[in-house]
Chains A and B, each alone.
Chain A
Amino acid sequence: MDMQVRTPRVALVGNPNSGKTALFNALTGAHQKVANYAGVTVERKEGHIRTGEGRALTVLDLPGTYSLRARSPDEEVTRDAVLGKLAGEVPPDVIVAVADATNLRLVLRLVLELKAVGRPMVLALNMYDIAQRQGLRIDLETLQAELGVPVIPTTATRRRGVAELIAAVDAAAGTLSATAESEWISPDADALRGKAREAERIMKACVKPPERPDTLTGKIDGVLLHPVAGLLILVALLFVMFQAVFTWATPLMDGIEGVLGGFGAWIATVMPDGIWQSLIVDGLIAGVGGVLVFLPQILILFLFILLLEDFGYMARAAFLMDRVMGGAGLHGRAFIPLLSSFACAIPGVMAARVIDSKRDRLTTIMVAPLMTCSARIPVYVLIIGAFIPNEKVWGVLSLQGLVMFGLYAAGIVSALIVSFVIRKIFWRGAVEPFMMELPAYKLPDPKSVAFNLWLRARIFLERAGRIILPLMVIVWALATFPYPPEGATQPAIDYSFAGMIGRALEPIFAPIGFNWQMVIALIPGMAAREVAVAALGTVYAVADPESATSLLGATLASHWSLATGLAFLAWYIFAPQCVATLGVVKRELNSWKWMWVMVVYMFGLAYLAAFVTYHLSVALGGG
């Protein structure tokens, strides 16, 4: 009777690219909850289903793996969840092994390994429609007999076989014997060979090779993995992606800013002046807006990434980029997180989870904030507009555009150098293996892309919101208290804690050409880089600096020397001026130490770069 009290738990286990998540979505629909596992930063996806008889089941989607021997944090979660060793988790009552029906060999080996765990199991032969289209004949009866587990063909994207799978899981849920003990031990190479041989034998007994094998993947690879054409296509694709991220998102971003600005103005009219109004309008609305405004860019970027991922291109991009990034000590897979970081380092740092090896993941996270995120753009635009003449170089190239390009390039080059140094200093040149499956190309399923996009957006907003909101309040408080004295002549921020800190830090920043107004602006700028623009507006008492960038630019040009302006740009390439990113880094690495390493090295580089820039410019007559 005990079995009836607790909802039976089902764990989905399978190779990467087996359509496991699509099957999870087909099983649970929108009834899913995404959280983190206790103590680790691996995403925990849980959902609920009801069987035909109305019984409830809890389904857990575990990270894809080839083996229970874990190599990455993700795979450790899969192993521990299956073995019931995960803190705060109950072992599963049923394991559903999810297989790509067109690519069975490796998953059969995994199934043999999973059988040692001693829990009831069901094998879902997913993407069965593709197998049928290829004329691949799988003898389900023999496969079932050989493996000793029920085998259910499914097509998750069309919800085929889902009801049958639920029924089989339900039937298996009752069969767990109370004495079941896991016999799984980490296999050595010879044990793995034995299982691989056994899997091969079962393959031969149950699967007839396809009559119409997939030749399309080979043909597409012939172009996309071509040493020269492949790289050119990758570069073209990136170009289109950036264009899309920066041009398509602009109207949406303007819309969000307009709505939030209007909302803030409305609050200001209905609430009495004072501390609460200031907290809500200047602290919360401005702060949340500063993050929300990047949502359109992040969504467009994620849309591209999801489409390319589902199509099967991302593994190819990692292949093409591996050598280029490998020279700097980065893994080919670091390509995706670093790419995301051009929109915002937060999704970039989170995307670094796809990297198996801890060292490679850490290196990637450490350099991700060096990629020029879109929050730097308002700062760059302001300073470039103020100090760089709007001239043409060789009659065609805009000088301002070239400087902008140079700032992006400086970020990329420094990221490569830093990761090279990290590898040399911390890992002493150890090289992690690079090997990964290149999945067959598939047309992305629009519904699953839309669903995942929505999920990503929700996760981003939840995580960023949870970190950013409290920080915004702190930064606001620093810039607001204490109030200016009666009859103050300077802007209020001068009398605040931020002002005091700014003046106290001024001697430190004087050698790199920063005046105290700039130092004050850097403090609220810690909340998010672009806030520094508004803060400069405040200290120079320029009303509405957002819409009057040119006016603020003119003010800056009259107060700062060229050398100071350039030093400020150099500072912004490196400075970790974004507490939200630092918060995410701390969470993802579960380490204060590495977060502080990042803070120190980035401020160090920022100071050095600004120092060199300032003194070079002064020497060349820009003082």
Chain B
Amino acid sequence: MSDTLKLSEARKGARGVIVQVGEHCHHKGDAVELERRLIELGFVEGARVELLHEGLFGRDPIAMKVDDMRVALRRHEAASLTIRLDGTAA
């Protein structure tokens, strides 16, 4: 069974691989721009991610390890990223 979820729903300690960038839950122009910005910051399909830290209020924002760099983002933006957790088949 493949265990994919939106990065915005992941909890601290979750590790996996990005399988999809861009999820058109925003209105169109914003979503396209967000997708490009995410890719520019290293959130690209195949990148390894690990959720390192969560903020105090509403567990937001989150600090990620993306390949070998660290990035902070809000869960609102993380909703555009789908990851497959480690230890599950594709």
Report how far A324 CA is from B42 CA in the complex, Å.
27
Contact of A323 among B38, B42, B61 (CB under 8 A): B61
Taking the complex as formed, is B68 at the interface, i.e. its CB lies under 8 A from any CB of chain A?
A: yes
Contact B40 A320 (CB under 8 A): no
Tell me if B72 counts as interface (CB < 8 A to partner A).
Answer: yes
Chain B neighbourhood of A193, CB < 8 A? 21, 39, 44-45
Q: Tell me which residues across on chain B come within 8 A of A323, comparing CB atoms.
A: 55-58, 60-61
At the interface, yes or no: B10 with Cβ under 8 Å from chain A? no
Nearest chain B CB to A253 CB, angstrom units:
37
Question: Are B54 and A227 neighbours in the complex by a CB distance under 8 Å?
Answer: yes
Contacts of A439 in B (CB 8 A): 70
Interface pair A435/B39, CB less than 8 Å apart: no
A223-239 residues at the B interface, CB under 8 angstroms: 225-228, 231
Residues of B15-62 contacting chain A, CB below 8 A: 21-22, 32, 34-42, 44-46, 52-58, 60-61
Q: Does A577 contact B (CB under 8 A)?
A: no
Q: In the assembly, what is the distance between CA of A323 and CA of B76, in Å?
A: 12
Docked Cα-Cα span, A197 to B44, in Å, equals 9
Partner of B40, one of A192, A197, A226, A315: A192
Tell me, rounded to whole Å, the shortest Cβ–Cβ distance linking B40 to chain A. Answer: 4
CB-defined contacts of B58 to chain A, threshold 8 Å: 323
Residues in A with CB closer than 8 Å to B11 are: none
In the complex, how many angstroms separate the beta carbon of B35 from the nearest chain A beta carbon?
5
In whole angstroms, what is the CA distance A236 to B39 when docked? 36
Could you tell me if B69 and A436 are in contact, using CB atoms closer than 8 angstroms? Answer: no
CA distance A196 to B67 in the complex (A): 13
Most buried by B among A71, A322, A439: A322
A217 B70 Cβ-Cβ under 8 A? yes
CB closest residue in chain A, given B62: A319
A88 interfacial contact with B, CB 8 Å: no
> Are A434 and B77 in contact, CB atoms less than 8 angstroms apart?
yes
**Interface size grouping (class) on chain A:** 35 or more
> In the complex, A614 Cα to B54 Cα: how many Å?
45
Contact B40 A109 (CB under 8 A): yes
Contacting residues, chain B, for A226 (C-beta < 8 A):
53
Q: Verify if B14 is at the interface (C-beta below 8 Å from A).
A: no
Residue of B38, B42, B54, B63 with most chain A CB atoms under a 10 A cut-off: B42
Expressed in whole angstroms, the Cα–Cα distance for A439 and B60 within the complex equals 19
A319 to B72, CA, bound (A): 7
A137 within 8 A of B: no
Q: Within 8 Å of chain B (Cβ to Cβ): is A105? A: yes
For B52, the closest partner residue in chain A by CB is A221
Interface size class of B (residues with CB under 8 A): 35 or more
- Knowing A189-B22, A323-B58, A332-B61, the reply to whether A437 touches B74 (Cβ < 8 A) is no
- CB of B60 within 8 A of CB of A437, answer no
User: For A196, what are the chain B residues with a Cβ–Cβ distance below 8 Å?
Assistant: 39, 42, 44
Bound complex: CA of A193 vs CA of B39, how far in Å? 7
Interface membership of A326, Cβ < 8 A: yes
Contact: A435 with B77, CB < 8 Å?
yes
For the complex formed, measure the closest distance between the CB of B56 and the CB atoms of chain A, giving whole angstroms.
4
Taking the complex as formed, is A406 at the interface, i.e. its CB lies under 8 A from any CB of chain B?
no
Q: Is the CB of B77 within 8 A of A225?
A: no
Which residue of chain A has the shortest Cβ distance to B45 in the bound complex?
A: A193
B75 to chain A, nearest CB (A): 10
Q: State whether the Cβ of A200 lies closer than 8 Å to any Cβ in chain B.
A: yes
B39 touches A189 (CB 8 A): yes
A-side contacts of B45, CB under 8 Å: 193
Complex CA gap A85/B60 in Å reads 40
- Closest B residue by C-beta to A318: B72
Assess whether A41 is interfacial by the CB under 8 Å rule: no
Instruction: Note all chain B residues with C-beta closer than 8 A to A332.
Output: 61, 72
- CB contacts under 8 Å to B, within A212-260, are 213, 217-218, 221, 225-228, 231
**B63 in complex: contacting residue of A69, A189, A319, CB < 8 Å:** A319
Smallest distance from the beta carbon of B19 to chain A beta carbons, Å?
13
Residues of chain A contacted by B53 (CB below 8 angstroms) = 221, 225-227, 319
B34 to chain A, nearest CB (A): 6
Q: Let me know if A433 is at the binding interface, CB within 8 A.
A: yes
In the complex with contacts A189-B35, A189-B36, A192-B39, A320-B69 CB distance below 8 A: no
Q: Which residue of chain A lies nearest to B53 when distances are taken between CB atoms in the complex?
A: A225
A550 to chain B, nearest CB (A): 45
- Beyond known contacts A192-B36, A221-B52, A322-B60: 10 more, CB 8 A cutoff: A66-B41, A209-B68, A225-B63, A319-B63, A322-B74, A323-B56, A323-B58, A433-B74, A434-B74, A437-B71
A–B complex contacts, Cβ < 8 Å, 13 sampled: A109-B40, A189-B21, A221-B70, A228-B56, A322-B60, A323-B57, A323-B61, A433-B73, A433-B74, A434-B61, A438-B70, A438-B72, A440-B70
Instruction: Give chain A's interface residues, CB within 8 Å of chain B.
Output: 66-67, 69, 71, 103, 105-106, 109, 187-189, 192-193, 196-197, 200, 209, 213, 217-218, 221, 225-228, 231, 315, 318-320, 322-324, 326, 332, 431, 433-440
